[in-house]
């Protein structure tokens, strides 16, 4: 699924868990400027994403794409692996 449609939202983040069967948890960091104090603030959010081949490992940087709901909490699908981590 390397072709990304322009009408779907995409996010990039780091895989923090791959314990579920065909499921990964991706932590996405968002940076924004505080409106009053002009300080850069980092905010994190975790998304559950579908990984059909179970190819992702903890620490990988991935791109996820919005999709129709696959379960109660899973509405994202892994699109591509951007960088892989070294496994011991």
Region 32-50: mean pLDDT is: 97
Region 4-18: mean pLDDT is: 86
Least confident of 2-6, 17-21, 31-35, 57-61: 2-6
Q: What are the structural domains, with CATH classification, of the chain?
A: 10-83 (2.40.50.140)
pLDDT for 86 equals: 81
pLDDT for 2 equals: 53
Place of tokens 């779907």: 8
What's the CA dihedral at 62, 74, 65, 14 to 10 degrees?
-20
pLDDT one-digit tens code per residue, 48-88: 999 999 999 999 999 999 999 999 999 999 999 999 998 76
- pTM recorded for the entire structure: 0.85
Using CA atoms, how far apart are residues 34 and 41, in angstroms rounded to an integer? Answer: 7
pLDDT for 23 equals: 97
């Amino acid at each position: 699924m390397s072709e990304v449609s322009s009408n779907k939202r995409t996010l990039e983040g780091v895989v923090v868990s791959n314990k579920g069967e065909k499921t990964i948890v991706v932590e996405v960091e968002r940076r924004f400027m505080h409106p009053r104090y002009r300080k850069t603030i980092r905010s994190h959010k975790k998304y559950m994403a579908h990984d059909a081949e179970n190819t992702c490992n903890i620490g990988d940087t991935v791109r996820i794409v919005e999709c129709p709901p696959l379960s109660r909490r899973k509405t994202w699908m892994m699109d591509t692996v951007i960088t892989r981590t070294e496994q011991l």
